[in-house]
Structure 1
């Protein structure tokens, strides 16, 4: 799945469920991924601290703060930009 611009999808604050973060191509209409990783990769990242921890909204409802997801995307873009700079500096 391809990632899409978050400004069109995420509000400034609130909560977002996992299917809206990693996408779900089986729904009608399909939900595009904001962060294109598998469900198991996402949960492994949560466990390792790479991805933000969820909030339990109820006994069977888990969600993430929109602010945490936006911060994750911002950090990822900064790291990607720094890595691109490192590769152009060494050439």
Structure 2
């Protein structure tokens, strides 16, 4: 695999036997599946969920998630650092239960 540099952009030239983008799509799907399994374990045991884990459980985009938080329709995050937030598993469990029983 070669990396081509042009005007600040990086393109990965895949080998001939690999269709372009297949490896990256597979990696992204595998990562999402891994995050969903980890998030399910945290959700059942309690604890904190980071945004990628949360988005693996709830079918929303990041921008839609933040729009729901601003509108008060989704549990707000907890600050765990200067630039890091997470959601309490109990709040997410309650939100999912509320979706099932409106």
What is the TM-score when the length of structure 1 is the normalising length? 0.64
Q: 1:55 maps to which residue?
A: 78
Q: Which moved more, 1:8-17 or 1:60-69?
A: 8-17
Correspondent of 1:21 among 54, 59, 62: 54
Higher strand share: 2
Distance 1:8 1:47, change over 3 A: closer
Q: 2:59 maps to which residue?
A: 36
Higher helix share: 2
What is the TM-score when the length of structure 2 is the normalising length? 0.58
1:43 and 1:8 mapped to 2: Cα distance?
Answer: 21
- Superposition deviation, residue 8 in structure 1: 4.1
The structure whose RCO (Cα within 8 Å, separation 6+) is larger is 1
Could you say which structure has the larger radius of gyration?
Answer: 2
Task: Say what the alpha-carbon RMSD is for the aligned residues.
Answer: 2.5
Return 5+ residue gaps in structure 1 as ranges. 23-32, 80-91
Q: How many residues align?
A: 67
